[in-house]
Structures are given as C-alpha cells and as structure tokens.
Structure 1
Amino acid sequence: MSATLNARFPDALPGSRVPDSRDAPPLRWGIAGPGWIAERFAASLQQHTRQIVAAVGSRSQERSRDFAGRFSIPAAYGSYEELAAAPDVDIVYVATPHNHHHAVARLALEAGKHVLIEKPIGINARQAEDIAALAEARGLLAAEALWTFFLPKYDVVRQLLDAGALGQLVTVLAEYGEHFEPGHRIFDPKLAGGPLLDLGTYPLAFISSVLGLPETVHAVGTPHPAGVNGQISAVMDFAGGVHAVISTNLYGFTPTTATIVGTEATLTLDGPFNAPGGFTVRTADGRELRYEEPPGDHVAGLHFQAAAVARAIAAGGLEVAERPLAESIKTMRLADELRGQLGISFPDGQHAAATASHSD
C-alpha cells in the first residue's frame, strides 16, 4: 500500500476488486500442522472455494488421522516429510507453531511443492529471506498467509492510498491486545511465545505496508512471569517526519483498531482491523465515506488468501500481489528491530540484531 499526493478526495469509495473465491482454479492442498488455525483454514476452503484439501500431516499419525476424519480429508501422514513428498499434493499450507515454519516450508519447497506459510513467515528476517531465495531457485510460489491483506476491504484501502485520497500521510496507529488462558502456547518461550509474532505481526505488517521501514524505532517492553515478553509499545519515525505507533499485549483485549491519518482525511478501520469488517474515511470539513463489510471470523475470511494463491499459480506467478515476499521480509525486519531493542529471545539461536532502523 502506498500514497500518491495531490489527488482529490473521492465522492464515493471504489469497489473491491477481489473476485469470488469459488472462481479460483482448484489446487490440491496439504496441511502441515493440524491445529486451531488449520481447522479454520480447512473449514473456510471447504465452505467458500473449490480448493481440494487432499492431505494433512503432522509429527503424530493419530492427530493427522483425527483431523482428516473430521474434515473428510483422504490422506493423513505421520510426518512433515511424508506430506512434502506426497504425490497428491500441489501446495503445502504450513500451520505449525511459529518456530517450525521455516523448516517445514523448506521441506515442502525442496520436494517441489508451493507453500503458503501461516504468519509470521518465519521468526526472523533471515528465515524469511531464506524461504524467498529457495522458492525463487526452485521456481515455486511462496507466500505468507497473513489473511488480513487478502480481504476485500483491504483492496479498497489500497485503492484509496494509491489515489492519494488521504493527502500526505502523517501518522499510522495500530494495536492488538488479547487475553489468553494459562497453558496457551503463547506463554511458551520454546515456541517463540509472547505477543510479538502472534498478535504484533498484524499491526507491524499494517504499518510497514503503508509506510515502509522506519528511520528510528523507540520500543519499550514488559516481561511476563512465564518467561516471555508480555507487552510491547513502540513509536517510529519515518522519512518526512511521518510517525507510527504500535502496541500489543497478551494480558487483555483491546479495541484492535488501526488508523491512517493524512492531511486531507483520516481512515479508521473498525476493530478488529485484521478481520473482515468496515472502515470510515472522514475529512476535516465533515465529509464522510463508509465502507461496509460483514464482520466475520477466520472461516469467513481465510479462503481469500487460498484463492489468491491458486490464481497466482495458475498464472505462473511465484508470489501474490496482496502480500509480496518483500513485504513479509520487511515486517520481519521490523520485528527483529523490536526484538533487538528489548532483548527478546526466540528459539532461533540468536538475539535478533537491530536491522530495520538506525535507532539509538
């Protein structure tokens, strides 16, 4: 997403250009990791697309069989290696815990399979770059399953920004907090727990997609007794004096809204901004445009990313326009910057270096 200056505020909002997901050519999907998000992905594809969920794989044959039975999936494998090698699979949807995204994506790519990797694409920018390089070398599509950017409303937001309808951008605000019960994987340091990757990916991706990478970042964080980070807030400064503010926490629910402020108008996405829903654009002189999209959950929205991937592969593409790999890498660099400033450790054998900005 970007902004073009010197454009007139529109009389009406543009329409979404996102096609019906049922029109996308079907692929045979293999699901790696039969967990919570995989359940919703399978249900979304089966309810809203012609995509074929052909196989599921995990480190447990029993879990794979149970998942396959619940979703009428014909093949269940007891390892990620078997899934990657399966002849009845065109593309692997990587829905494992975060710290396995990189390794499982590599298995699939090396076996000649396209990959759609749940967000975050990796747990650091180096992993994201490695996936991108391997996919390019093998001539395969790789994409991050950050479902938000595939929703119809985000196509309308892109059109407004590209047309410069908000004027010169001044500030971007995005936040996401949620309550989790004890025992949730978000509290496990070995699984790259804490809010940064689970929740923070959404506001970080939103900010970096609109503004790029910042010149400076000033972050503060609070540790959680479980041994992970509990909350992060940061102020960022971009070229031309543009600011962004992010906040994310695992203690309690927040409105989960996002706002883009321009010199001509302000765009505010309803909470939760990362899910299907509406937004409002208001000018300083009182003009208002409203985009309505039925609020929805993951089952209502995950199919858009699968359809986009299927269309891209049918057209011979190696990535998707809605979430190019360069954007995924950019978001991971920003997450690395926050890690570096706050000393957050993930199971990648290193503390992330400050690479996204020239912070002091």
Structure 2
Amino acid sequence: MNDGTRTIRWGILATGGIAADFTRALQSLPNTEVVAVGSRSAEAAKAFAERFGIPRAHGSWAELAADDGVDVVYVATPHSAHRIAAGLCLEAGRAVLCEKAFTLDAREAGELVESARDRGLFLMEAMWTYCHPLIRRLREVIAAGEIGEIRSISAAFGFAGEFPPEHRLRDPAQGGGALLDLGVYPVSFAQLLLGEPDAIRAWAHLTPEGVDDNTGIVLGWNSGAVATLGCTFTADTDAPATITGTRGRIEFADGFFYPDRFVIHRPGREPQAVLLTEATADPERGTMRHEAAEVNRCLRAGETESPLVPLAGTLAVMRTLDTVRALIGVTYPGVD
C-alpha cells in the first residue's frame, strides 16, 4: 500500500565526492533519513558519518548491506565496482540506486537486473537526467508533436583536465575513458527520446593506457532519425544539445543533463523558452533531489522499478555503450 509519509532510510556505499553530494541532497528531503554509510575503510566510513551526522558507520560494503535498518542503498563507487557492490546489497535484501554508468558492460547490468527481479527488489540506475522536471516536460512537448517527428539529435559533454596515468579516468581496470564517465549522458539522452538505435558507428582517440579520451558517436534509427554525440576529457564543452524535428527544433544552450531551460524554435513563431520554475543554488544537487525523491516514491508505493528510469532502458544504453566500446577498441580486464 502506498504510504506517502513513510520515512525512507538510506545507506550510502562509498565516501567520495558524489556520495557527499547525494547525501546532502537526501538530507534536504522530507521523511528521508541517511542512517548508515559503508566503506572498505572503517576510518573513511567513520569520518563520513561524522561529517554528515550519520548514526552508523560500517567498515565494509558487506556490513552495510547486512544492516537491517537500511531500506535502500545508494552505490557511489566507480563503475568498475558497481556489479559487486550493488550485487552484495541485492543479495542481502536491500533496494538499490546505482550510479551511472550502471556497470562495465551489459552482461553485468543484466545480472543485477535479474538478481533484483528474482528477489522482488527495487533497482534503479541513478540517471538523474530522466527525473529532472524539465526533461520530463521535454518529453511531453515532443509527445504533443510540438516539433513534429524527430529527425536528428546532437549532444556533447566534455571537460578538460590534467589526469596522470594512474587516475581512474585513464585506468582500464577501473573502467576508465570518456565513454562510461561522460558518454553515458548523451547516449542516454538520445535513447530516452528515440529508443535503442538500429545502427551504431564510432571513432575515438585512445590514451597510452588504451582508454578513450575523445569519442564521437553516430546512432541511426530505421525511422530515418540520427544522433551525433560526443564525449571528451580533453576539452571543455557547455554540454549543448539540439533536437530537430520536422516542424521545429529544441535547443539546450548548456547543461542538457541538468538544464534550467530549453528553447523551442518553430517557423513563423517567436522562440519559446521553457524554464525550470524551482530555484536552487546548486543545480546538480537539485537534480539529485529529483532522483532521490523518485526512489522514495517508488519504495513507498511498493514499486520495484521506476517508470522514469526503467531497467529496460538502462540495459539498452549498456548495449549501445558495449557496441561503441568494441568499435573504438577499448577493453577492460575481465570484461568481454
């Protein structure tokens, strides 16, 4: 039975920067408590717990997973550990919100989905973009035919940095490269609007370690639609996106994956700006609030899957990323 006031008790698995951001987002939600944190280091768990006033600190992932006072665990490790960490939690009977990219490949993703479904447990990829109010509004605008039938999508996400060879972004053992870290955003954006593609092409520049640092992707659909996507950690982008239809286009000037506005352009009409109505000083944390609120809603309603971030969509994105990775020649140890 749906209980909209039931307090949802969260556990945080890992203690890095994104775990801290998500914890702050959770602590801004009503009827939501962060009750435990787990890390491979007892010292790190204790320090994180003290920082955020969390009652219980566990010195291993397994201890957190076994904590019966936790309703749902947020997995915030690098994606190379998602399969193990999320799997531990599901096996212990915990619902899971797992960061993106969901896993290293589609096989691992399928194993997590199967585990959750076998146990009747909630599982969701932390694709915050899908839960964002403006992206939900975007889907309504497109479904209403405001720009006609989609013919093309372009989207890119990148930043520049000096990353040493041992950095996780350059480490194949940690699922390094731009594709899983950044490319998951434009690929997910395109597939949210058009579904799984019928054709995939890609090119990338590889680092000496064998991971991609600059990647271009073209997706095609039998409908005739195409998407041109990019990801890089060698240059800053404003994360722009454009959706072009038969009767108009929609533009995101920047931050398409956590936007504060988009603009609809149609022939013979003034451009129409669609704005985010809520005010927030921290757009990324604000976006995390939306996905956390969706998890809370699903758990209170007894749902094992979010209609906003369906597992079938997550698996489809992972299949696309697998194909791109094969085309650009990036391999990870122990992954087919």
User: TM-score, structure 2 length as denominator?
Assistant: 0.94
**CA shift for structure 1 position 179:** 1.6
Distance 2:307 2:251 in 1: 23
**CA shift for structure 1 position 286:** 3.2
* 1:201 counterpart SS class: helix
Q: 1:5: which partner in 2?
A: none
Distance 2:225 2:290 in 1: 31
Q: 2:40 aligns with which of 35, 59, 64?
A: 59
Q: 1:214: which partner in 2?
A: 197
Distance 1:105 1:236 in 2: 30
* 2:28 counterpart SS class: helix
Q: 1:290: which partner in 2?
A: 273
Name which of structure 1's ranges 51-60 and 41-50 shifts more when overlaid on structure 2: 41-50
Distance 2:119 2:303 in 1: 13
User: TM-score, structure 1 length as denominator?
Assistant: 0.88
Report whether the alignment pairs 1:345 with 2:331: yes
Contact 1:49 1:307 (8 Å CA) reproduced: no
Q: 2:162: which partner in 1?
A: 181
**CA shift for structure 1 position 211:** 1.1
Q: 2:308: which partner in 1?
A: 322
Name which of structure 1's ranges 138-147 and 341-350 shifts more when overlaid on structure 2: 341-350
Q: Which runs of 5+ in 1 are unaligned?
A: 1-22, 351-360
* Same amino acid, percent of matched pairs: 36
Distance 1:311 1:253 in 2: 36
Letter in 1 for 2:102: I
Change in CA separation of 1:307 and 1:180 when aligned onto 2, cut-off 3 Å = same
Q: 1:312: which partner in 2?
A: 298
Pairing of 1:156-175 with structure 2 (within 5 A): 156-175=137-156
Letter in 2 for 1:253: D
Distance 1:24 1:338 in 2: 43
Q: 2:80: which partner in 1?
A: 99
Change in CA separation of 1:225 and 1:297 when aligned onto 2, cut-off 3 Å = farther
Distance 2:32 2:256 in 1: 27
**CA shift for structure 1 position 25:** 4.2
* 1:239 counterpart SS class: coil
Distance 2:6 2:271 in 1: 38
Task: For residues 283-317 of structure 1, give each alpha carbon's deviation from its aligned partner in whole angstroms, at most 9, with x where no partner exists.
Answer: 02233221112574322220111111111111111
How many residues in Structure 1 have an aligned counterpart in Structure 2? 328
Report whether the alignment pairs 1:145 with 2:126: yes
Distance 2:81 2:176 in 1: 13
Q: 2:60: which partner in 1?
A: 79
Contact 1:24 1:310 (8 Å CA) reproduced: no
Aligned-residue Cα RMSD (Å) equals 1.5
Letter in 1 for 2:327: Q
* 1:302 counterpart SS class: helix
**CA shift for structure 1 position 156:** 0.5
Report whether the alignment pairs 1:36 with 2:6: no
